Structure 1
Amino acid sequence: MIGTIFNTCMILGGSIMGSLFKKGMKEKYHEILMQALGLAVVALGLNTVVKHMPHSRYPVLFILSLAVGSVIGSFLDLDSRFDSLVSKHSNGQAVQGISTGILLFCIGTLSILGPVNAALNHDYTYLFTNGMLDGVTSTVLASGYGICIAACAPVLFCWQGSIYLLAKLCATAISTTLLTELSIVGGILILASGINILGLKKISIMNLLPSLLIPPIGLLFL
């Protein structure tokens, strides 16, 4: 749980720091921080794919997963739904800020795969990386919405904690093969997230998220 605790503390720290900025973070600092973190996420995604690809028993499963998952995500229009939820005006500024923060912090590849990787492999790389990203994001959000963004921290803790405990309970049912195939797909999505952060290409990550569900389903029939 150390990774989740770190992630939670980064949101709290970023919220406090951001609320102290009267005019928000200067654009040049925000830009260079996001570039640095974007490069880190790209490197992490590439490393994950390269590390697990040679051990894959079904080399085409990740292609099938991305294809089927993207079709499902596009059919459900997850990306547009997510954007509308983030941009939707609520009854109060604080409520809008908190809802935006929860969606940004909790719905993401690193935030979902991080607790799983920590529970099964004692590897906290995803969670530490996600914590750094959330630290910057919470600072920016808090500079606009105020200290209320800190309320997202306990929500994230419960979210990632639940995934962590579920992964622990189901550890015996999660095979090495499944973890390998899931890691390949997850690595590609992490790489896509890094590309988005760097602004190189707009990739609909939300529409690709269902791809993570395909490996466990596919392995039932293989």
Structure 2
Amino acid sequence: MIGTIVNVATIIAGSVAGSAFKKSLNESYQNILMQAMGLAAAALGLHSAVTYMSDSRYPVLFIMSLALGGVIGQTFDVELRFKQLVAKISKGDLSEGLSTAILLFCFGTMSILGPIESALHGNHTYLFTNAILDGVTSMVLASTFGIGIILSAAVLFCWQGSLYLLANVLSGFITPELLTETSIVGGVLIFCSGLNILGIGKFKTMNLIPALLIPVIFIIFTQAIEM
């Protein structure tokens, strides 16, 4: 799990550095950094969704996933529970930054494929590349939202660690088709987070996270039928 450990370490380092940098910034600089982070997240999400949408075999699957996932998330009110949990450890708008960090760090293609490649083939390239990107991103996020962004490192460790341990079981299901469909949904969610940060909309992004499970269930069910 050396790749995951390096990835987590860069997020911790980036969060500490960004938090230290935040203390020397006045409000105007913090505001412009927040706008920059919102634009970056929106651009990354839009790029992911558009890039993979042309390769999708099921063009309406992401719509169904967002609708069903939204209903599930709203039923359990994931966003409210998440904000209540974050409120216990911090004040302010950390929940917005932390939810964006979790989406960016955990639900990108490299963060899903990386631990599987690491476990099955000893190839850490994806995770090392991801570590550099996450380190820079966590620094910017922490300079905007504070040291609380460091909590995303623990979430990432659990996420990638689970994929690493289950790699042999999941290897038959992690197909390019599955990565395509989940990347579209993940891209839309990251785009929504960017709009939230910019104040353009107020999307309950955390309530939409169950949408990521719908393509997985659909693809596995489809594969089972075709066998």
Cα 1:182/1:176, change in 2 over 3 Å: same
TM score, norm. by length of structure 2 = 0.73
Q: Go from structure 1 to structure 2 and tell me whether the alpha carbon gap of 1:9 and 1:153 turns closer, same or farther (over 3 Å shift).
A: farther
Name 2:32's counterpart in structure 1.
32
Gaps of 5+ in 2: 118-124, 223-227
2:79/2:207 contact within 8 Å kept: yes
- Contact 1:178/1:216, CA 8 A, preserved across alignment: yes
Q: What code does the residue aligned with 2:146 have?
A: L
SS in 2 for 1:202: coil
Give the % identical residues: 37
**2:4, 2:39 → 1: CA distance?**
21
Given that 1:8 and 1:157 are in contact with CA atoms closer than 8 Å, whether structure 2 keeps it comes out as: no
Q: Which residue is 1:8 aligned to?
A: 9
Question: Closer, same or farther in 2 for the Cα pair 1:47/1:153, shift >3 Å?
Answer: closer
Matches within 5 A, 1:128-139: 128-139=132-143
Q: Which residue of 1 aligns with 2:164?
A: 165
Q: Deviations over 1:18-40 (max 9, x none)?
A: 3587x663212211112222212
How much does 1:105 deviate? Answer: 7.0
Segments of 4+ moved more than 6 angstroms:
none
Aligned residue for 2:122? none
Q: 1:34 to 1:8 in 2, by over 3 A?
A: farther
Mapped to 2, the partners of 1:161 and 1:217 lie a distance apart of 20
For the 8 Å contact 2:103–2:186, the answer to whether it is kept is yes
Decide whether the 8 Å contact of 1:9 with 1:153 is kept in 2: no
What TM-score results when the alignment is normalised by the length of structure 1?
Answer: 0.75
Question: What's the RMSD between the two structures over aligned residues?
Answer: 3.3
What residue in structure 1 maps to residue 178 of structure 2? Answer: 178
Q: How does 1:1-222 map to 2 (within 5 A)?
A: 5-6=6-7, 8-16=9-17, 18-19=19-20, 25-88=25-88, 96-97=89-90, 104=98, 108-114=102-108, 115-119=111-115, 123=126, 128-139=132-143, 140-142=145-147, 152=151, 155-156=154-155, 158-166=157-165, 168-169=167-168, 170-222=170-222
Number of aligned residue pairs: 205
Cα distance in 2, alignment partners of residues 193 and 219 from structure 1: 26
1:158 is displaced (CA, Å) by 2.7
**Change in CA separation of 1:176 and 1:210 when aligned onto 2, cut-off 3 Å:** same
Query: Matches of 1:153 and 1:45 in 2, distance apart?
Result: 18
| CA positional deviation for 1:164 | 5.0
